């Protein structure tokens, strides 16, 4: 199967088959040519009013795609996936259901594609409307929506984030 020029056996991805039961399920692929990667948010469905989420698959090497990571233990809202200027990082917003508190946590997930690791950062805002601005090779600014400024902008230094092996992302405890 092909999505935006990326040929891969997507049917093997967990939860891909929900589209057999729900006709409104869709996928969004964001490619970065510099890093030769694609970030696929797939099996996106509306889980509550105006809240569309899906699973994450990151592929590398368009000529012969291989799955780098597949996250199904928490979800990713529909969003414009942001890559760093050099293609090293992917910046994502996530939805994590915190069962003990019966609420949704909306952390930022940063994936380092070159070193196969990730970091998570809590911006203390339960919104998926934040945007990312890379200030330099060590800093990213996460900004809240301009219309309703409920939360302060947050500056992150890559060197100060706690990094974990990418294969631990599915088991990560927020």
DSSP annotation string for 81-136: -EE-TTS-EEEEE-BEEETTTTEEE--EEEEETTTTEEEEE--S---S--EEEEEE
Provide the pLDDT for residue 33.
Answer: 93
Query: Does 115 score more than 90 pLDDT?
Result: yes
Would you call 137 helix, strand, or coil by DSSP? Answer: coil
10-14, 71-75, 93-97, range with the lowest pLDDT: 93-97
Tell me the pLDDT tens digit for each residue of 18-37: 988 888 899 999 999 999 99
DSSP class of residue 168?
A: G
Q: Please state the pTM of the whole predicted model.
A: 0.85
pLDDT above 70 covers what percent of the chain? 90
Total count of domains within the chain:
1
Q: Which domain holds residue 52?
A: 2-171
Tell me the pLDDT tens digit for each residue of 120-169: 987 765 555 667 788 887 888 877 665 555 556 778 888 889 999 999 99
Average pLDDT of 115-119?
A: 95
């Amino acid at each position: 199967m092909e999505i935006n020029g990326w040929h891969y056996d997507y049917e093997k991805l967990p939860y891909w088959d929900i589209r057999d039961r729900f006709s409104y399920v869709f996928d969004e692929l964001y490619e970065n040519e510099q890093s030769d990667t694609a970030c696929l948010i797939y099996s996106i469905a509306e889980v509550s009013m105006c809240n569309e989420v899906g699973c994450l698959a990151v592929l590398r090497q368009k000529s012969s795609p291989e799955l780098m990571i597949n996250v199904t233990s928490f979800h990713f809202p529909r969003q414009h996936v942001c890559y760093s200027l050099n293609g090293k990082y992917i910046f994502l917003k996530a939805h994590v259901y915190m069962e003990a508190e019966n609420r949704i946590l909306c952390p930022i997930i940063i994936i380092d594609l070159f070193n196969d690791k990730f970091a998570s950062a809590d911006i203390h805002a339960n919104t998926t409307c934040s945007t990312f601005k890379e200030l330099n090779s060590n800093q990213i600014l996460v900004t809240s929506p301009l219309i309703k400024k409920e939360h302060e902008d947050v500056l992150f230094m890559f060197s100060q984030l706690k990094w974990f092996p990418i294969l631990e992302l599915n088991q990560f405890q927020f």
